[in-house]
């Protein structure tokens, strides 16, 4: 199987901007400023393929679990940067008139770097960019490969629970949205000439270690 690495211009520029920002604001790499986070939740993904053969139908992932692992570093008061690995195994369903049917499965892996702004001690927002890859058996839309790495952009809003137990374990609730454009070699062979924007929304519960605990105001 041949992997094709494709980066769209906007994602390359976005990643470059993040890199420039991190260079301009070098973090003081004190161990107490670095924290590790694990998040678990559920993810909805919009339609991967909309097609019509006699009648119209959609190929859409089922509601799926999402697991995120992050390393976060405080840049300066109120700001932090992070690197996040995001894994999400999902079933694939074909939705057509008369029902919804199994159409295989896949797992996505996404790596993003992000910039987080802490607005209050409990609330923060994140913007991130990175790349995402589908892993699947070579059948169906993935029969000629998974399409390589897709550029990905994401935004998230996070709320740290103001409870003693939650603050001790840095437990946060996060709503995360990301977008990428999806197409595979098999879809190109079939005649699709451009990729489709795919939106993903996840609701996550996050726990953290290190970094002095709690969000930075």
Partner 1 sequence: MTRRLVATLVVSLALGACKDPAIPDRSGAYAFADTAIIGVDTSVTLFRWPTTRMPIRFWPDPRGNMRFLVERAVAVWQDQFLYGELRGVVVSDSTAADVLVQWADSVPPDVPPDTTPRPNACGGVTTFDYDSTGFALAGPVHVSLTVLTGGSPATPAQVQACMRRLTIHELGHSLGLLRHSAFDEDIMYGAPIVNYPSRFDRRSVEVLYHSQPTVQPPPP
**SS in 3 state form for the chain?**
CCCCECCCHHHHHHHHHHHHHHHHCCCCCCHHHEEEEEEEEEEEECCCEEEEECEEEEEEECCEEEEEEEEEEEEECCEEEEEEEEEEEEEEEEEECCEEEEEEEEEEEEEEEEEEEECCCCEEEEEEEEEEEEECCCCHHHCCCCCCEEEEEEEEEEEECCCHHHHHCCCEEEEEEEEEEECCHHHHHHCCCCCEEEEEEEEEEEEEEECCCCCCC
φ/ψ of residue 63, rounded to 5: -55, 130
Q: Is 127 in the site for partner 1 (CB under 8 A)?
A: yes
Kindly give, in sequence order, each residue whose CB lies less than 8 Å from that of residue 163, ignoring residues fewer than 6 positions away. none
CA dist 157 and 173 (Å) reads 8
Q: Is 44 in the site for partner 1 (CB under 8 A)?
A: no
* Residue range at the interface with partner 1 (CB under 8 A); choices 35-43, 158-166, 194-202, 206-214: 194-202
- Which one of residues 34, 186, 202, 204 is an interface residue with partner 1 (CB under 8 A)? 186
- Which one of residues 162, 197, 212, 213 is an interface residue with partner 1 (CB under 8 A)? 197
Q: Is 166 in the site for partner 1 (CB under 8 A)?
A: no
Q: Is 85 in the site for partner 1 (CB under 8 A)?
A: no
Q: Is 2 in the site for partner 1 (CB under 8 A)?
A: no
- Which one of residues 109, 113, 192, 210 is an interface residue with partner 1 (CB under 8 A)? 192
* Residue range at the interface with partner 1 (CB under 8 A); choices 29-37, 66-74, 101-109, 204-212: 101-109
* Token pair for 59: 């190929």
User: Cβ 153 to partner 1, closest distance in Å?
Assistant: 4
User: Cβ 168 to partner 1, closest distance in Å?
Assistant: 31
Q: Is 210 in the site for partner 1 (CB under 8 A)?
A: no
* Residue range at the interface with partner 1 (CB under 8 A); choices 37-45, 49-57, 81-89, 202-210: 49-57
With beta carbons less than 8 A apart as the criterion, state whether 113 and 83 touch.
yes
Q: Is 91 in the site for partner 1 (CB under 8 A)?
A: no
User: Cβ 103 to partner 1, closest distance in Å?
Assistant: 3
Q: Which residues bind partner 1 (CB under 8 A)?
A: 10-11, 13-14, 17, 21, 24, 49-55, 57, 59, 79, 92, 94, 96, 99, 101-104, 115, 117, 127, 129, 139-141, 143, 153-155, 179-181, 183, 186-187, 190-197, 199
């Amino acid at each position: 199987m041949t992997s094709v690495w494709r980066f769209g211009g906007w994602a390359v520029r976005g990643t470059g901007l993040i890199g420039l920002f991190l260079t301009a604001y070098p973090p003081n790499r004190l161990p107490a400023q670095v924290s590790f986070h694990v998040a678990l939740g559920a993810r909805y993904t919009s339609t991967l393929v909309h097609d019509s053969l006699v009648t119209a139908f959609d190929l859409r992932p089922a509601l799926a679990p999402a697991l995120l692992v992050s390393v976060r570093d405080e840049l300066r008061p109120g700001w932090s940067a992070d690197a996040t690995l995001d894994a999400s195994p999902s079933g694939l369903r074909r939705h057509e008139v008369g029902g919804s049917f199994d159409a295989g499965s896949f797992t996505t892996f996404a790596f993003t770097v992000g910039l987080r702004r802490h607005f209050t001690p409990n609330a923060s927002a994140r913007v991130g960019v990175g790349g995402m890859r589908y892993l699947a058996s070579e059948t169906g839309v993935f029969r000629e490969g998974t399409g390589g790495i897709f550029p990905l952009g994401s935004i998230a809003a996070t709320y740290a629970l103001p409870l003693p137990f939650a603050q001790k374990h840095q437990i946060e609730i996060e709503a995360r949205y990301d977008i990428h454009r999806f197409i595979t070699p098999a879809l190109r062979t079939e005649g699709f000439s451009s990729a489709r924007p795919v939106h993903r929304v996840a609701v996550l519960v996050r726990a953290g270690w290190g970094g002095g605990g709690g969000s930075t105001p």
